[in-house]
Structure 1
Amino acid sequence: MNVIDEIGVLAVSTRMQRLADQIRKDGLLIYKASNIDFEPKWFPVIYSLYRRSVMSVVELAAEIGYSHPSTISLLKELEKKKLIRSKKDKTDERKRLLVLTEKGEELIRQMQPVWKVMTEALEALTDTQNNIMKAIEEVEQKMAEQSFFQRAQSIKKAI
């Protein structure tokens, strides 16, 4: 056991990041083993556009929960790979609407069977006594009620 594992809840962010990094690395290996040129970091954008067809940049950022600059960065990569394209909104010329390209739609078709395998593997990993997905939902709900910062400030005032 290393110091990060020993420290407990104080290192929750570090441990979650470590877990997310490992899942992303393995996801990349799964895509490569399936001869699919795809970066796991692109998943939230590609999947959201697959499910919603057309979205503005602002809608997409809100949907995936990323900051506007982070979303823009991913969009640039995906446009460079010709997986998505943007077009002007006919009702508001300032607004960019995002859609999958034909290449992006073909990629989705290739990935769907891989996603089924990944889902089963992830379900097997997360199906534990303390189911991580349920725990994440509970923590997200508590943070929506009162953020980590707000809780810390309340505790600090009480001391």
Structure 2
Amino acid sequence: MDALRGYGELGLGSRLKRVSEFIMKETQLVYDYFNIDFDPYLFPIFKIIVNKNGVTNKDIQNSLHFTQPAITQAVNKLNDKGLIRFKHDDLDKRKKIIHLSNHGKRTLMKLEPIWKSIEDVIKEFTLENSSSLIEHLNILENKLGSKSFSETIIKNVKIYGLQELNIVLYQEEYVRYFYELNIEWLKTYFYVEAYDEEVLSKPKQYIIDKGGHIFFAKLNNEIVGTVALMPLGDDGLFELTKMAVSPKHRGYKIGQKLMQYCIDFAKNMRLPKLILYSNTKLENAIYIYKKYGFIEIPVEPNSPYARSNIKMKLVF
């Protein structure tokens, strides 16, 4: 039994401290994995130095509201690691201005994809809705206990920091991936409807030949995801549809990259809007659609998908 959870709101401070220490420890494992000599506790002060073209200890204190001894200790550690350099102020020689050193700039280039991955994983782990901070902490700690925080970050960095993901256009050689990826996704979350089977089996007939577009996410010469812009009628309306990602590559924002590509592509085509059909049980997907600007509209009685109970549109 977790005693801290039993304390409810009285244990909030201790719970936050425990989560913080756990995340710091896991983040250190990530830095160590990539052989980066950096301490996660130095992040806030290092980031202030990165963001400003010259900063003093007082500037850092005003920005972060840390104690002066804590700032001095962190600055000394950054200096010991060779990540910063000092320059005397032109007007007041007693004042030292802190800048990144050349080594600090090189280290920053290694850290940035890791920070992006950490940010994405934190968003993923804290995406659930809750009615209180304590309930949200329970959800977060459950996820931290069931899925390795550090390993998830490392996998993300490998995909988005050290490897190249390309979005490529429809080619006949990719047709089987369009079918297989979508069929797998449908069987995992729902079931394959007759309309799905028809469109997925004949994408050229139903999408390409009608002026639509199919895109594929390609990672190291492997097709790992797909999505389509399918025309509906003759009035320029397109459906964002048939998005699927390989099971072993889910959780790395590939679907979001495909969706962003479709949105940018639609804007370049000067389309007035996009629509999509989904199901409210896909809470994460609905959240992401809304984040990208989609709003809910009524589902027509003769919707092409029996499983769909929500329709959304994005107006440009």
TM bin (shorter chain): 0.7 to 0.9
Question: What residue is the counterpart of 2:222 in the other structure?
Answer: none
Query: What residue in structure 2 maps to residue 78 of structure 1?
Result: 78
1:109 corresponds to which residue? Answer: 109
- State the TM-score, normalized to the length of structure 2: 0.40
Match of 1:98 in 2: 98
Q: CA RMSD in A?
A: 1.7
Q: 3-state DSSP class of the match of 2:66? A: coil
Q: How far apart are residue 58 of structure 1 and its match?
A: 0.4
Give SS of 2:7's match. helix
Richer in strand (by share): 2
Runs of 4+ in 1 over 3 A off after TM superposition: none
The answer to whether the aligner puts 1:43 opposite 2:61 as a matched pair is: no
Q: For residue 80 of structure 1, report the CA deviation from its aligned partner.
A: 0.9
Using the alignment, how far apart are the partners of 2:54 and 2:22 within structure 1? 31
CA distance in 2, matches of 1:111, 1:80: 18
* Match of residue 260 from structure 2: none
| TM-superposition CA deviations, 1:122-159 (whole Å, max 9, x none) | 11112121397xx9xxxxxxxxxxxxxxxxxxxxxxxx
Q: After TM superposition, list the pairs within 5 Å mapping 1:133-152 onto structure 2.
A: none
**Structure 1, unaligned stretches of length 5 or more?**
136-159
Counterpart in the other structure of 1:156: none
1:64 deviates by: 2.1
Letter in 1 for 2:96: R
Aligned residues: percent identity? 25
Q: Which runs of 5+ in 2 are unaligned?
A: 137-316
Q: Is the 8 A contact 1:34 1:114 kept in 2?
A: no
| SS of equivalent to 1:91 | coil
Please tell me the residue identity of whatever aligns with 1:110. K
Q: CA deviation at 1:54?
A: 0.9
CA distance in 2 between partners of 1:76 and 1:123 (Å): 32
1-structure distance, mates of 2:17, 2:23: 10
The structure where helix makes up a greater share of residues is 1
Work out whether 1:9 is the aligned partner of 2:9: yes
Alpha-carbon shift at residue 75 of structure 1 (Å):
0.6
Q: Counterparts of 1:53 and 1:2 in 2: how far apart (Å)?
A: 46
What is aligned with 1:26? 26
Give the paired residue count: 133
SS of residue in 2 equivalent to 1:55: coil
Residue identity opposite 1:56 in structure 2: T
How far apart in 2 are the matches of 1:55 and 1:7?
Answer: 42
Larger RCO, structures 1/2 (Cα 8 Å, 6+ apart): 1
